[in-house]
Amino acid sequence: MILNTHIGAKVEPMNPVTLTALAAGSTVGYSLAGSWGTSREFPVIEYSTDGGSTWSTMEKDTPITLTNAGDSIQLRSSTGDNFAYSTSIYTKITGTGQLKLSGNLLSMQQDFAYHQKFTHYGFLGLFRANTAIVDASEFIPRVQALSKTYCLGYLFYGCTGMTAGCQIPDNYVDPNDLSNVSSCYYDMFYGCTSMTTGPDRLPCKYATKSMYSNMFYNCSALLKAPEIDVEYAAAATDAASVFASMFNGCKALVEPPSTIKLEVLGTSCCSGMFNGCTSLPVAPVWILGDNSIGGTSVFASCFNGCTSLVRGALFSRLITSEMCPTARSGIFNAMYQGCSSLTT
């Protein structure tokens, strides 16, 4: 079953979330992490194994076997706000064997209106530690709105078998609500140690607190960073830790984002961003606004331990005291510590 969903001016296929067996006997199920108690509503997940002709309710902790390689299971839900309540209480799609993940995450938000916001933690940890997922390149993590906290955080955390990550769509975020949105993609691919290819671009124009923090932390096989389209933040607090430790430990990374643009750089905005990227040869270009420095430790340890770095960061303008409304400490603290090959 293929539906279409209108996203602004675009039309995008809304295939249900689909897991296809790459090896005979692979399984798919779901479990609930943490203590849910009696007051929280559980998600209701439906599944189809015949291409969407018939649907049944999936039982918790009762995995379904895909007998043959090429068999697939589709998932949907009309309880999109009941998947996660905290960083320790969330729903996990589980699997064994080898699986390809595809389809559109909107199929798990069938009860949501256009641009409706989460009231809880969205789809935090939905595929966390699902080591059976090998390929997510055709999966679309679309939600009606980036909202609340960690709504796509920890999504693939610890998926150590995944070699190909997904693209990131231009998810909507309310520009008038930035201060209430944080950590949207926090730890999204954390510890995906086999992932060699990830998203090509991060298209959201607005920055929120810790938005991409730790996103690719310890993705030790990742070769190329996505381009980053972030430009705006309503205030320095919204730009705090936006890129903190984003590529920390990406030891194979050789191609950084070409440019990073942000009107205001908040506290720890880029701290540890490329820490331990031992193969990185050059740093990005930062395009700065007129009053850019809105916090402390902005670039602290940004390139710490980048032993192959020969060209440091380029800035679109000279950083002067006029760019700091008040005195800021530790802006460049240990920015190039351990960069033993640095020449410019």
The predicted-structure confidence for 9-48, as pLDDT tens digits, reads as follows 344 557 999 999 999 999 999 999 999 999 999 999 999 9
Tell which wins on pLDDT, 314 or 288.
314
Q: What is the band of 1 on the pLDDT scale with cuts at 50, 70, 90? A: very low
pTM: 0.94
| Exposed/middle/buried for residue 37 (C-beta within 10 Å: 0-12, 13-18, 19+) | exposed
Contact 189, 198 (CB under 8 A): yes
Query: CA 155 to CA 256: how far, in whole Å?
Result: 23
pLDDT at site 327? 54
Strands (E), the chain: 4-7, 10-13, 17-21, 26-33, 45-48, 56-57, 64-66, 72-77, 90-96, 99-104, 133-140, 201-202, 227-228, 259-262, 285-288, 314-315
Residues 6+ apart with CB under 8 A from 149: 121, 181, 182, 183
How distant, in Å, are the alpha carbons of 2, 37, 75, 204, 212 from that of 18?
11, 30, 6, 25, 26
Q: What is the band of 310 on the pLDDT scale with cuts at 50, 70, 90? A: very high
Contact 25, 97 (CB under 8 A): yes
Q: What is the band of 328 on the pLDDT scale with cuts at 50, 70, 90? A: low
The arithmetic mean of pLDDT across residues 162-187, rounded, is: 96
pLDDT at site 5? 45
Q: What is the DSSP letter of 264?
A: -
The arithmetic mean of pLDDT across residues 332-341, rounded, is: 96
pLDDT at site 25? 98
Residue 321 has pLDDT above 80, yes or no: no
pLDDT at site 233? 84
Residue 166 has pLDDT above 50, yes or no: yes
| 115-147 pLDDT tens trace | 999 999 999 999 999 999 999 999 999 999 999
The per-residue b/e assignment along 123-144, b for 16 or more CB within 10 angstroms, e otherwise, is bbbbbbbbbbbbbbbbbbbbbb
Q: What is the DSSP letter of 42?
A: P
The arithmetic mean of pLDDT across residues 192-203, rounded, is: 98
pLDDT at site 322? 67
Torsion of CA 72, 78, 80, 81, to 10 degrees: -150
pLDDT > 70: what percent of the chain?
Answer: 93
Query: Could you give the maximum distance between any two Cα atoms of the chain, in Å?
Result: 66
pLDDT > 90: what percent of the chain?
Answer: 83
The arithmetic mean of pLDDT across residues 240-256, rounded, is: 97
How distant, in Å, are the alpha carbons of 38, 62, 170 from that of 57?
21, 11, 31
How distant, in Å, are the alpha carbons of 211, 277, 293 from that of 297?
17, 19, 10
What is the identity of the amino acid at 217? Y
